[in-house]
């Protein structure tokens, strides 16, 4: 039976505190005593560092940040937020494209201490929701296993998985969420649920690509992994003037490639980059790349094709050496690592069919010299997956980025809005939920497509009173 949050509050005695009454210092102190980890409030040592995420533009000021060191800490936070009507948000890697401004005055559940990675003899990996990709890759690689995911070592496994998980091994092995077999989730009623195909399969379906923050707080994931393959990574830089020819050749060529090959583009006024990886040796990849260069019609100005093991490839894409150490760690949120925060805004569209006029697309994304567009290939095993991720048939995802310097955030958002809306007639009402854009038109359909009604039903069942709510939550679409 699903118990609504309001019923839960009455049964737990919450009615005595008055739902919606903002807690005073004494009540915050009560929560602090319930936690194993720290509770940081404005004025506390460490609060200013802890409140910051990857994006410098989000100057969120929550009423408190709870450093959860065990599942019971997460349950205590959910209970506390429900009792007092507080905004609530979970944080894993801190890379959210919208940040945590929605919890100004509320409670951030920091999962960073729940970061263990256990690789079992059967090849399954149990990963804490606070783990970042660098340490996840390091642990998997040491055990001879791999998981398809992204390239940035400081991205949190939780947000990546819950939104789908586009990555460099996607065409060969699918999205990150396709490998999720079970999860432990604290739902709005305070219950810790073990979700799998055998128990609560609808919630598992929703967690596999239905977006982070919509259904509860995941505390750990159990993934099916694959034997770690040897990989040949590659990077080719073309003259910027070749951008139109590069994109035109790529959108015809990439879908014809074997599943073992994944690639992406980087396009802009000063960039025409082509890169990716191949599951196999360089001797098999080289003629494929040579053929692609002939199709572009312009020789690259730089080209490299390192052949490595799985961990070597992940280091190559990360651009740092020690995936679990400070060289690949976050320099924000008190992390003390070498990877710095950034100041840009972004949005997305999904390429569902080849662009009719590739030169016009490249001209549009190159018009402003501050724009940079990343095009990630789809197809292969991604297209064969089945979960809440709606864009299985997409040829590619487009991610449009614009620095907030020198003109500021408002100007940057206007520019990415021009690209997003200008390409709408070509790309349709689409978007990738892991690139949340607060101004995305018709965002419910863009992010969730035909899965939206089913996702709403799951959200109503597990969070009938909307405890897990934010401006683009499932329940608000």
Read off the pLDDT of residues 82-120 as tens digits, 9 standing for 90 and up.
999 999 999 999 898 886 556 788 999 999 999 999 999
Phi, psi of 85 (to 5 degrees): 65, 35
**pLDDT at site 263:** 98
Burial 238-247 (b: 16+ CB within 10 A, else e): bebebbbbbb
**Confidence at 21, pLDDT banded by 50, 70, 90:** low
- Cα 287 from Cα 234, distance rounded (Å): 13
Please state, in angstroms and as integers, the Cα–Cα distance from residue 194 to each residue in 92, 157, 204, 361, 465, following that order: 19, 18, 9, 45, 22
> Is residue 231 within a helix (H) or strand (E), and if so which, with residue range?
strand 231-237
User: Using one digit for the tens of pLDDT, what is the confidence trace for 450-475?
Assistant: 999 999 999 999 999 999 988 999 98
The three-point CA angle 144-219-449 to 5° equals 90
Smallest Cα–Cα separation from 64: which of 84, 76, 50?
50
Instruction: Kindly state the tokens that stand for 119.
Output: 């690789």
**Confidence at 441, pLDDT banded by 50, 70, 90:** very high
**pLDDT at site 58:** 83
Looking at domain 231-308+343-441, which of 3.30.300.30, 3.40.462.20, 2.40.10.220, 3.40.50.970 is its CATH number? 3.40.462.20
CB 320 within 8 A of CB 310: no
Looking at domain 5-110, which of 3.30.43.10, 3.20.20.70, 1.10.760.10, 3.90.79.10 is its CATH number? 3.30.43.10
**Confidence at 14, pLDDT banded by 50, 70, 90:** very low
- Cα 188 from Cα 286, distance rounded (Å): 52
**pLDDT at site 3:** 35
User: Using one digit for the tens of pLDDT, what is the confidence trace for 335-383?
Assistant: 899 999 999 999 999 999 999 999 999 999 999 999 999 999 999 999 9
User: Using one digit for the tens of pLDDT, what is the confidence trace for 142-157?
Assistant: 999 999 999 999 999 9
Please list, in sequence order, all residues whose beta carbon lies within 8 angstroms of the beta carbon of residue 331, skipping any fewer than 6 positions away. 337, 338, 339, 340, 341
- What are residue 274's DSSP bridge partners? 236, 265
- Cα 54 from Cα 344, distance rounded (Å): 10
**Confidence at 477, pLDDT banded by 50, 70, 90:** low
User: Using one digit for the tens of pLDDT, what is the confidence trace for 28-81?
Assistant: 999 999 999 999 999 999 999 999 999 988 878 999 999 999 999 999 999 999
**pLDDT at site 334:** 85
- Cα 400 from Cα 404, distance rounded (Å): 13
Smallest Cα–Cα separation from 107: which of 91, 92, 86?
86
- Cα 226 from Cα 411, distance rounded (Å): 44
CB 350 within 8 A of CB 142: no
User: Using one digit for the tens of pLDDT, what is the confidence trace for 310-323?
Assistant: 999 999 999 999 99
**pLDDT at site 475:** 80
- Cα 475 from Cα 428, distance rounded (Å): 23
In 41-190, the DSSP E strands lie at 64-67, 88-91, 107-110, 117-119, 124-128, 145-146, 180-186
The correct answer on CATH 3.40.47.10 for the domain covering 117-228 is no
**Residue extents of the structural domains in the chain:** 5-110, 117-228, 231-308+343-441
Please state, in angstroms and as integers, the Cα–Cα distance from residue 191 to each residue in 74, 318, 349, following that order: 10, 37, 36
**pLDDT at site 22:** 80
**pLDDT at site 101:** 53
Query: DSSP letters of 361-411?
Result: HHHHHHSSTTEEEEEEE--THHHH--SS---TT-SEEEEEEEE-TTT-HHH
For residue 328, pLDDT over 70 is answered with: yes
**pLDDT at site 1:** 32
- Cα 202 from Cα 456, distance rounded (Å): 11
CB 364 within 8 A of CB 257: no
User: Using one digit for the tens of pLDDT, what is the confidence trace for 252-303?
Assistant: 999 999 999 999 999 999 999 999 999 999 999 999 999 999 999 999 999 9
**pLDDT at site 122:** 97
Average pLDDT, the chain: 93
**pLDDT at site 100:** 59
- What 3-state class would DSSP assign to 354? coil
**pLDDT at site 322:** 96
- Cα 464 from Cα 9, distance rounded (Å): 13
**pLDDT at site 10:** 29
User: Using one digit for the tens of pLDDT, what is the confidence trace for 172-211?
Assistant: 999 999 999 999 999 999 999 999 999 999 999 999 999 9
Smallest Cα–Cα separation from 431: which of 163, 99, 152, 94?
163
Phi, psi of 91 (to 5 degrees): -130, 130
- What are residue 144's DSSP bridge partners? none
**Confidence at 12, pLDDT banded by 50, 70, 90:** very low
**pLDDT at site 401:** 97
User: Using one digit for the tens of pLDDT, what is the confidence trace for 405-436?
Assistant: 989 999 999 999 999 999 999 899 999 999 99
pTM for the structure as a whole: 0.94
């Amino acid at each position: 039976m699903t118990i609504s949050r309001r019923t839960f509050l009455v049964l737990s005695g919450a009615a005595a505190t008055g739902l919606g009454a903002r807690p005073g210092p004494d009540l915050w102190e009560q929560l602090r005593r319930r936690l194993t980890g720290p509770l940081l409030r404005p004025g506390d040592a460490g609060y200013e560092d802890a409140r910051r995420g990857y994006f410098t533009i989000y100057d969120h000021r929550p009423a408190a940040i709870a450093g959860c060191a065990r599942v019971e800490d997460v349950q205590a936070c959910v209970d506390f937020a429900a009792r007092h009507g507080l905004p609530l948000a979970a944080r894993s890697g801190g890379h959210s494209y919208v940040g945590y401004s929605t919890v100004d005055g509320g409670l951030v559940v920091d999962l960073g201490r729940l970061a263990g990675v256990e690789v079992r003899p059967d090849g399954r990996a149990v990963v804490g929701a606070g783990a970042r990709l660098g340490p996840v890759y390091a642990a998997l690689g040491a055990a001879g296993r791999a998981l398809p995911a992204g390239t940035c070592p400081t991205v949190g496994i939780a947000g990546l998985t819950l939104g789908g998980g586009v990555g460099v091994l996607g065409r060969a092995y699918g999205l990150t969420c396709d490998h999720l077999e079970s999860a432990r989730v604290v739902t709005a009623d305070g219950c810790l649920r073990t979700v799998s195909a055998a128990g609560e399969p609808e919630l598992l379906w929703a967690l596999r690509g239905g977006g982070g923050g919509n259904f509860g707080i995941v505390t750990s994931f159990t993934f099916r992994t694959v034997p770690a393959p040897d990989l040949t990574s590659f990077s080719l830089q073309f003259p910027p003037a070749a951008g139109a020819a590069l994109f035109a050749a790529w959108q015809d060529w990439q879908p014809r490639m074997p599943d073992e090959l994944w690639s992406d583009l980087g396009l802009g006024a000063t960039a025409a980059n082509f890169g990716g990886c191949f599951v196999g040796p360089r001797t098999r990849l080289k003629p494929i790349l040579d053929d692609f260069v002939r199709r572009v019609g312009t020789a690259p100005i730089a080209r490299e094709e390192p052949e490595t093991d799985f961990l070597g490839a992940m280091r190559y894409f990360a651009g740092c050496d020690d995936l679990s150490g400070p060289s690949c760690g976050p320099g924000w949120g008190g992390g003390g690592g070498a990877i710095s925060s950034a100041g840009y805004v972004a949005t997305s569209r999904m390429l569902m069919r080849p662009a009719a006029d590739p030169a016009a697309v490249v001209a549009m994304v190159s018009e402003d010299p501050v724009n940079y567009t990343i095009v990630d290939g789809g197809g292969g095993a991604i297209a064969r997956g089945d979960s809440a991720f709606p864009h299985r048939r997409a040829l590619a995802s487009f991610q449009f980025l614009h620095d907030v310097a020198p003109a500021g955030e408002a100007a940057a958002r206007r520019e990415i809005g021009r690209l997003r809306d200008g390409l709408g007639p070509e790309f349709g009402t689409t978007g990738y939920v892991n690139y949340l854009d607060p101004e995305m038109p018709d965002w419910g359909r863009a992010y969730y497509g035909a899965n939206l009604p089913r996702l709403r039903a799951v959200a109503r069942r597990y969070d009938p009173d909307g405890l897990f709510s934010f401006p683009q939550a499932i329940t608000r679409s």
